[in-house]
């Protein structure tokens, strides 16, 4: 699963590189895709990827401490995070019971 998450992470960075004018981002995921999107968001949260890419080192592990990017995903304004049939709380087998 970590490989799939890295692919989404890389895809977001690639789109930002190709389209530097993009300012907003949304994620939609179904089932396991919702978990993958959640992981990618966590990795990209609070980072300005465009500034990291302009450094030319190709390594995106540096966290930006500038408050300007707090609440942003890869420097972009988050709009929607939508999941459908995603097991955010995990699963306990075929005898699942919702507890309110």
Give the pLDDT score at 76.
Answer: 92
- Band (pLDDT 50/70/90 cuts) for residue 94 is low
Query: pTM for the whole thing?
Result: 0.73
Give the pLDDT score at 62.
Answer: 45
Q: Which run of H or E residues covers position 25?
A: strand 24-30
By the 8 A CB rule, do 60 and 49 touch?
A: yes
Sign of CA dihedral 21, 61, 45, 65: negative
Q: Which run of H or E residues covers position 81?
A: strand 77-84
Closest to 75 (Cα-Cα) out of 20, 33, 37, 36 = 20
Domain map (residue ranges) of the chain = 2-84
**Token duo for residue 22:** 């993009």
CA distance 93 to 3: 25
- Residues of the chain with pLDDT > 90, as a percent, come to 45
The label of the residue with tokens 């179904």 reads 30
Name 45's bridge partners.
Answer: 73
- Band (pLDDT 50/70/90 cuts) for residue 4 is confident
Give the pLDDT score at 2.
Answer: 76
Give the pLDDT score at 95.
Answer: 64
């Amino acid at each position: 699963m970590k490989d799939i998450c890295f692919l989404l992470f890389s895809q977001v960075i690639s789109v930002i590189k190709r389209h530097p004018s993009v300012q907003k981002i949304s994620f939609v995921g179904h089932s396991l895709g919702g978990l993958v999107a959640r992981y990618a968001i966590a990795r990209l949260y609070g980072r300005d990827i465009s500034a990291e890419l302009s450094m030319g080192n190709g390594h995106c592990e540096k966290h930006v401490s500038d408050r300007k990017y707090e609440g942003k995903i890869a420097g972009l304004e988050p709009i929607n995070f939508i999941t459908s049939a995603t097991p955010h709380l995990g699963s306990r087998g075929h005898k699942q019971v919702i507890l309110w």
